[in-house]
Amino acid sequence: MARSGASGKKRYQARLITLVAADHVALRLLERTKGSAGTEFEKRLRELAVEADPQGEYACTTVTRTFVNWCKSAPSVPPPLRSALARRDACTGKGMRNYRRKVIRDLNLNWKKASRDEYLADIEVVVVKPLRKPYPPPNHIVAESESAHVAWFKFMEERPIPDKRKPKLPFHRLQNEKLAINVVQDKSVIFKDTKGRLVGGVFRDFCPDEEAVKWAEAIVAEALPQLTNIRKEDPGKLSQVGYNAGKLNRPAFDWAKNLTRRKRDATAVAQMDVKSSSVFALLWQMVRSRLPKEVINDFDTFLTQSGIRRMDGSGQMASEGSSGTYSVVATATATGAG
């Protein structure tokens, strides 16, 4: 016997909301209800609607917009579904515009000169004098503690040298009393010489938005397995992205060509380049908004005098003064020009 009346429809709505909230695939698709994701969510929603309404009294008329309106008017919505709806709102219309403004504000990308000057004025300035003899000594592996020395000594001594042109470096146990200054964790410092010239700095919490940090870390984790290691003599992995100086025996300033497998899908390679370049673009925007003008001026002078192209490995921005876009994906997606 078919159900009828408002009470039957409300029970159906409640069951469907519960089913969607428990379906991880549906939740991921709901967050991105544009393009193919929107089509896939609509398909999944209809499948769940049939499960909630086997007799088909209401399922045939259920679409995404209707379902979202039900959720907004429901007395209670399970937390997973509520979060997915919030992320969906952030990615559409006014929500996206508000989110972009939030990202720009949180990352301090909208700072003017006065904001930068105020930020730098709060950082301690330390006057340093050049040492007669550099410390720690150059061309040494520096161990900050005895435990680190013990832990890595055998590995560093017995490891094969992948590049015979690079000598095996000796260990040096750091002696803190010989350091001119030791900057403690969570403290920012600007170093100047006795003539007031900027010589260096430590800037803590440079990216205050944790979601943006996670986004950048995810891109690094995705790119590393696809790229060759340039520090094979060391533990861990370090790969170059974008421009590099070429090989030791054949230096040339050009786009890095260091894929672990040469025969890779060209579209996938281009997408990875865009993601990696977006990380650099965001960092550059943050650098320009807050670091001392001496640093920015050095970069601008080099870029102007060298005539270097932008980070454009595929050569699609050949015109002078051209610009591209970069994307920052955190809780939602924000895009900017760079």
Domain residues of the chain, as ranges?
5-91, 103-129+180-337
CB atoms within 10 A of CB 201: 18
* Phi-psi group of 113: left, alpha or beta (phi > 0 → left; psi -120 to 50 → alpha; rest → beta): alpha
Tell which residue, 155, 276, 174, 172, has the closest CA to residue 224.
276
Burial letters for 40-75: b for 16+ Cβ neighbours within 10 Å, e otherwise? bbbebbeebbeebbeeeebbeebebeebeebbeeee
Query: Helices 24-31 and 35-52, interaxial angle, to 10°?
Result: 140
Q: Specify whether the CB–CB gap between 330 and 209 falls below 8 A.
A: yes
Question: What DSSP letter does each residue of 228-250 carry, written as one string?
Answer: --S-TTSSS-----SEEEE-SSS
Are residues 171 and 143 in contact, defined by beta-carbon separation less than 8 angstroms? yes
Residue 8 CA from chain centroid, whole number: 48
Cis-peptide, bond into residue 136, ω within 30° of zero: yes
CA 164/CA 126 separation, integer angstroms: 41
The whole-number pLDDT of residue 337 equals 43
pLDDT at position 35: 60
pLDDT tens digits, the chain, 338 residues: what are they? 344 556 788 889 999 999 999 999 999 888 876 666 678 888 899 999 999 988 877 777 778 888 999 998 888 899 999 888 888 877 666 666 777 787 788 888 889 899 999 999 999 999 999 888 999 999 999 999 899 888 888 888 888 888 888 888 888 999 999 988 889 888 999 999 999 999 999 999 898 888 888 889 999 998 888 888 887 777 788 888 877 887 777 887 777 777 777 777 778 888 888 888 888 888 988 999 999 999 999 988 988 887 776 655 555 554 555 566 667 665 444 444 44
The predicted pLDDT at position 197 comes to: 95
pTM over the 0.75 mark: no
Question: Which tokens belong to 14?
Answer: 């409640």
Q: Helix 79-90 to helix 24-31 angle, to the nearest 10 degrees? A: 20
> For position 333, what pLDDT does the model report?
43
Question: Environment class of residue 142 by beta-carbon count within 10 Å: exposed (0-12), middle (13-18) or buried (19+)?
Answer: middle
